[in-house]
Structure 1
Amino acid sequence: MTSIPTRPLGATGPRVSALGLGCMGMSALYGPVDRQESIATIHAALDAGVTLLDTGDFYGMGHNELLIRDALAARPGSRDQAVVSVKFGALRDPSGAFLGYDGRPAAVKNFAAYSLQRLGTDHIDVYRLARLDPDVPVEETVGAVRELIDAGYVRHVGLSEVGAETVRRAAATAPVADLQIEYSLVSRGIEDEILPVCRELGVSVTAYGVLSRGLISGHMTRESVRDLSAHDFRAASPRFATGNLDRNLALVDALRQVADGRGVTVAQIAVAWVLSRGEDIVPLVGARRRDRLAESLGALDVVLGADDLAAIERAVPAGSAAGERYAPEQMAMLDSEKSSGTAGSRAG
């Protein structure tokens, strides 16, 4: 690979690298991390031409934003290269427990003030509420982000895990660059309703969970799942649960046969599949190490033809994964799952 291609972030947003780096795992939810390797991974991404860095103000209660600040500060000029996407609104207590979401306009501006300070920057490139606040109309939340744009503190409005109707209402309030939502071979619910509406409105998708939290990376085994730390939220994730795990790893074995036939890794073919879904979809890879980042970047060289796509579909048919993508209490917080296109018990 000589350079990373770019894709537009919606009809109104910036062009970004065709792959983005999701930084959450460098600070939270996946067990112990190595700070120096995390910073080195961010630097390697920037050196390779990755421009989109995704974070949340509640990842490690601010730790992730501070980590990105330090990584960018160590490379003069890198802030101008990076498009920093920030999720806000999640409320947490000192133990790390989630307490809900706050989308009130005053809260939006308060969250932004703290993020700007932690990131050491004068603007946030894309700003998005992590989950819809059921007590606050989306128009009010997006309106507050629009006011931050008018004041120069934010560049673009983003959305996260909302359904088609909410996308319409938000886009009627202010131009929306992208919807961040889970999308992978084993999580395809957006295809029914949400993705068509995004395309109608000129809203791109930044897809997270493209490897289903490592489940379809080709690196996960029954033994490694059993050894997950108590601080790794996958230990309580339905798709990693006993019974579900065996079925899901069988899908990975089938996908591995397709990958082997192309001379690529399982992770690369899974990421390449998401890349193949359209120029308006930008996968986020959650690499915490340079070797994993390099592997994912290799997906950019994998061009999938009709025969490849058919083989992938046979290996991992839509809806074939066992278990929901989150535990029930977290699923209940997803406006995207209330949409008719994704609601119900379907596994994908």
Structure 2
Amino acid sequence: MPHSPLQPLDGPLDSESAARGARRFVLGGPFGAEPAEATAARLAHFADTGGVLVETSHSYARGRAEEAVGQWLRGNPGALSVLTKVGHDTTGEDIPLRRDTVFEHVQSALHKLGVDVIDVLLYHCDDLGRSVAELADTLVGLVDAGHVRRVGVSNWRAERLSQLADALNERGHTLVASYQFSLAEPDPTLLEGSLHADDAVLDVVYAHRLPLISWSSQARGYFARSGPKEHHGKPDPYDTEDNRARRQRCRDLAEQLGTRPETVALAWTLQHPGVWPSIGPRTTAQIDNSLHACRIALTAEHTHWLRHGR
């Protein structure tokens, strides 16, 4: 089983005492690619149920996502903390993580979001042409300038992740990690350059006691479907033999518990302390379905069986 004894930080990723509530989730979604009313309804509902952290990116919705979230935040100041990411342009392509470019994009994010400080700022990608020390100094510089409260990365290889965790620790900061992590393990060749939290990544997360934000924690709706679904015109990366068996076990257990298979799969992710599932509901009802996972008390035997089938 994946390593699990991860430690949270103070602030938006705090309080394992609230581990069974909405504070445990990070809210994503198609912000900027949908009517403003739909965004407002979900953000308000998430905040009303006790959620604290919304996730977006400089690149999402071709650059419109931060502005869409900011439109709601301006009318509801302080209602939610914000995580955003830099390192992709508005087409989703990687960009060089030069200090001036990163600072420019962060300034843009502050303006679009309508906040004085970004609660969590992540590099959306790595820049192998730059040293880990340089990239760490840029992140720390953002904190020292008062633009960002905490920093981290998404989609870094394990070796570089470990080096950055050490570099930030030496500078007095604890890294936040963000990877795909769910009961469904994707075919890495179909993830379009994104990375799953494999054993090598989890070894680093465990060793450095990093909080892990798990995007696609519900595997893009895989456990709610009966068959594969293409993503951007490509095969479903989650539709593997192992995952089909895991989905069936979720269905079997959901029938016993009187709940939904996707809720059982999300409850599996919640069994890992220090992991903060990022969910991407399209409706307030889907938020409520996700929150129901907090009320499912899986045993250690259930958790092992769902993954391994024995």
* TM-score in terms of structure 2 length: 0.83
Which of 197, 200, 203 is 1:193 aligned to?
200
TM-aligned CA deviation for residue 246 of structure 1:
8.4
TM-aligned CA deviation for residue 253 of structure 1:
3.3
Instruction: Report the residue type matching 1:18 in the other structure.
Output: R
Which of 162, 167, 184 is 1:173 aligned to?
167
**1:125-144, aligned counterparts within 5 Å?**
125-144=119-138
TM-aligned CA deviation for residue 125 of structure 1:
0.8
Tell me which residue corresponds to 1:4: none
> Is the CA contact 2:12–2:119 (under 8 Å) kept in the aligned structure 1?
no
Tell me which residue corresponds to 1:53: 54
SS at match of 1:103: coil
- What do the CA deviations read for 1:238-287 (whole angstroms, capped 9, x no partner)? 427xxx5788556423421121112221111111101102x211111111
Tell me which residue corresponds to 1:322: none
**Compared with structure 1, are the counterparts of its residues 112 and 288 closer, same or farther at alpha carbon in structure 2 (3 Å cutoff)?**
same
Tell me which residue corresponds to 1:20: 26
Tell me which residue corresponds to 1:300: 294
TM-aligned CA deviation for residue 190 of structure 1:
3.0
> Is the CA contact 1:132–1:138 (under 8 Å) kept in the aligned structure 2?
no
Question: Structure 1 residue 268 and structure 2 residue 263: aligned?
Answer: yes
> Is the CA contact 1:161–1:180 (under 8 Å) kept in the aligned structure 2?
yes
**Compared with structure 1, are the counterparts of its residues 196 and 109 closer, same or farther at alpha carbon in structure 2 (3 Å cutoff)?**
same
What CA distance in whole angstroms lies between the structure 2 residues aligned with 1:84 and 1:141? Answer: 21
- What do the CA deviations read for 1:57-110 (whole angstroms, capped 9, x no partner)? 1001331111111222232441xxx22111111024xxx4x4323211111101
Instruction: Report the residue type matching 1:109 in the other structure.
Output: F
Instruction: Report the residue type matching 1:15 in the other structure.
Output: D
**Compared with structure 1, are the counterparts of its residues 84 and 306 closer, same or farther at alpha carbon in structure 2 (3 Å cutoff)?**
same
**1:1-348, aligned counterparts within 5 Å?**
9-10=8-9, 14-15=13-14, 17-23=23-29, 25-27=30-32, 33-78=34-79, 82-92=80-90, 96=91, 98-174=92-168, 175-187=173-185, 190-216=197-223, 218=224, 220-222=225-227, 225=229, 233-239=231-237, 244=239, 248-249=243-244, 251-277=246-272, 279-315=273-309
Work out the number of aligned pairs and report it. Answer: 285
Moved more, 257-266 or 8-17: 8-17
Instruction: Report the residue type matching 2:260 in the other structure.
Output: T
TM-aligned CA deviation for residue 12 of structure 1:
9.0
- What do the CA deviations read for 1:11-47 (whole angstroms, capped 9, x no partner)? 7985262111123x3345xxxx343122201110000
Structure that is richer in strand per residue? 1
**Compared with structure 1, are the counterparts of its residues 282 and 47 closer, same or farther at alpha carbon in structure 2 (3 Å cutoff)?**
same
What CA distance in whole angstroms lies between the structure 1 residues aligned with 2:8 and 2:131? Answer: 24
TM-aligned CA deviation for residue 184 of structure 1:
0.6
TM-aligned CA deviation for residue 307 of structure 1:
3.4
Instruction: Report the residue type matching 1:196 in the other structure.
Output: D
> Is the CA contact 1:21–1:54 (under 8 Å) kept in the aligned structure 2?
yes
**Compared with structure 1, are the counterparts of its residues 313 and 199 closer, same or farther at alpha carbon in structure 2 (3 Å cutoff)?**
closer
SS at match of 2:83: strand
TM-aligned CA deviation for residue 214 of structure 1:
1.2
Instruction: Report the residue type matching 2:66 in the other structure.
Output: E
> Is the CA contact 2:184–2:246 (under 8 Å) kept in the aligned structure 1?
no
What CA distance in whole angstroms lies between the structure 2 residues aligned with 1:76 and 1:112? Answer: 19
Instruction: Report the residue type matching 1:20 in the other structure.
Output: V
What CA distance in whole angstroms lies between the structure 2 residues aligned with 1:290 and 1:49? Answer: 13
* TM-score in terms of structure 1 length: 0.74
TM-aligned CA deviation for residue 236 of structure 1:
1.7
> Is the CA contact 1:10–1:202 (under 8 Å) kept in the aligned structure 2?
no
What CA distance in whole angstroms lies between the structure 1 residues aligned with 2:10 and 2:70? Answer: 28
SS at match of 1:203: coil
**Compared with structure 1, are the counterparts of its residues 13 and 301 closer, same or farther at alpha carbon in structure 2 (3 Å cutoff)?**
closer
What CA distance in whole angstroms lies between the structure 1 residues aligned with 2:71 and 2:146? Answer: 23
Instruction: Report the residue type matching 1:147 in the other structure.
Output: G
What CA distance in whole angstroms lies between the structure 1 residues aligned with 2:49 and 2:269? Answer: 20
Unaligned runs of 5+ in 1: 1-6, 318-348
SS at match of 1:15: coil
> Is the CA contact 1:149–1:155 (under 8 Å) kept in the aligned structure 2?
yes
**Aligned-pair Cα RMSD in Å:** 2.6
Instruction: Report the residue type matching 1:171 in the other structure.
Output: A
SS at match of 1:109: helix
Tell me which residue corresponds to 2:192: none
Could you tell me the percent identity over the aligned residues?
Answer: 23
